[in-house]
């Protein structure tokens, strides 16, 4: 069975890190309250991608619910309560948060359920307090009704661009998601089905990535290696390929003299040796040396 990192990549979030420890921490629910994952970081909507991928990469989750506080939703119509004395009353319309929390509670009675609350900074601060009380009491209330969650089957994910209510934050397990995956991975030619003759090229690329302060993910690196024999004919081509496929590269760094020298003097000779100078010339659409002599 594929590991969590591979399953998350298949669900839209590729990274070099493994987040198995997050699931382990959430499963150790010592105080028997609702486990809560607080997804933090400087990744913008990458945090949303992380939360959804993590939720969908677990094979024992029956229900995954999602609510974004920045998306306006049509309120439900007020409920009219009919009484015998003709003094009908109207209950307030049910808000989106109340609807999705009550649904999640109901699902958790018999099935594993994850609720993702995104952009929590846009929620009313009173809702932050209500969420904290829900995590500790396992009871969600509105309009005089109560809904109970099974703490063994219910997990809450929260995402906010700002600090959440202190007690809510203290009760949640925090995970940091960077804007790019920066964990160093010692890739080898065999990882991509290549022979040892590709080692000098990958050693040169490793030095380049170190200078650029990035580490490509597996699929990014695979695309770069695939481009090299097909369309990398010059140092500028390689710079464009690396920039084009690798998330988080600062374009200005590629234009610095020491990086350009590294590509031109160290990596391009290794590439020419790897795929053959004649093949590079042919792919570039240029005449071979023998042709130039006639």
Q: What is the pLDDT of residues 252-278, one digit of tens each?
A: 999 999 999 999 999 999 999 998 844
DSSP 241-288: HHHHHSTT--HHHHTSHHHHHIIIIIIHHHHHHHH-HHHHHHHHTPPP
Reported confidence tier of residue 290, pLDDT bands at 50, 70, 90 = very low
Q: What is the pLDDT of residues 67-77, one digit of tens each?
A: 999 997 765 55
Whether 164 and 194 share a structural domain: no
* Mean pLDDT, range 169-188, rounded to an integer: 85
pTM: 0.75
Whether 242 and 135 share a structural domain: no
Q: What is the pLDDT of residues 79-132, one digit of tens each?
A: 555 555 656 566 677 899 999 999 999 999 999 999 999 999 999 999 999 999
Strand bridging mode 113-118 / 63-68: parallel
Whether 208 and 160 share a structural domain: no
Q: Is residue 184 part of a domain?
A: no
Reported confidence tier of residue 52, pLDDT bands at 50, 70, 90 = very high
pLDDT of residue 285: 46
pLDDT of residue 248: 84
Q: What is the pLDDT of residues 120-174, one digit of tens each?
A: 999 999 999 999 999 999 999 999 999 999 999 999 999 999 999 999 999 999 9
Whether 124 and 247 share a structural domain: no
pLDDT of residue 45: 85
- Owning domain of residue 85: 4-177
Whether 61 and 89 share a structural domain: yes
Q: Is residue 209 part of a domain?
A: yes
Q: Is residue 154 part of a domain?
A: yes
Whether 76 and 165 share a structural domain: yes
Containing 158, the helix (H) or strand (E) segment is strand 154-159
Helices (H), the chain: 4-10, 20-27, 46-56, 96-108, 125-137, 166-171, 199-212, 218-231, 235-245, 251-254, 257-261, 268-275, 277-284, 289-292
Structural tokens at position 33: 């309250």
Listed residues 143, 177, 211: the one ending a domain:
177
Whether 230 and 195 share a structural domain: yes
Whether 118 and 97 share a structural domain: yes
Whether 17 and 120 share a structural domain: yes
Whether 89 and 200 share a structural domain: no
Whether 111 and 220 share a structural domain: no
């Amino acid at each position: 069975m594929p590991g969590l990192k591979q399953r998350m990549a298949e669900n839209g979030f590729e990274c070099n890190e493994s987040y198995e420890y997050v699931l382990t921490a959430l499963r150790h629910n010592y105080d028997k309250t609702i486990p809560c994952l607080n997804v933090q970081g400087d990744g913008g909507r990458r945090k949303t991608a992380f939360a959804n991928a993590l939720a969908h990469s677990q094979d024992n989750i029956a229900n995954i619910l999602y609510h974004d506080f920045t998306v306006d939703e049509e309120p439900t119509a007020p409920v009219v309560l009919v009484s015998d004395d003709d003094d009908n009353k109207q209950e307030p319309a049910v808000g989106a948060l109340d609807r999705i929390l009550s649904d999640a509670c109901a699902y958790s009675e018999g099935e594993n359920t994850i609720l993702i609350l995104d952009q929590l900074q846009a929620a009313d601060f009173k809702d932050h307090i209500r969420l904290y009380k829900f995590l500790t009491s396992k009871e969600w209330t509105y309009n005089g009704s109560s809904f109970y969650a099974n703490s063994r089957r219910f997990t809450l994910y929260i995402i906010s661009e700002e600090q959440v209510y202190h007690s809510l934050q203290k009760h949640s397990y925090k995970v940091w998601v960077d804007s790019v995956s920066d964990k160093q991975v010692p890739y080898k030619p065999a990882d991509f089905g290549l022979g040892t003759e590709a080692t000098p090229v990958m050693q040169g690329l490793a030095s380049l990535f170190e200078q650029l302060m990035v580490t490509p993910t597996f699929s990014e690196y695979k695309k770069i290696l695939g481009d090299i024999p097909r369309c990398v004919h010059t140092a500028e081509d390689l710079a464009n390929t690396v920039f084009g496929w690798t998330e988080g590269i600062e374009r200005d760094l590629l234009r610095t003299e020491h990086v350009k020298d590294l590509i031109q003097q160290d990596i391009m000779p290794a590439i020419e040796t790897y795929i053959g100078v004649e093949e590079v010339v042919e792919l570039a659409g240029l005449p071979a040396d023998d042709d130039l002599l006639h």
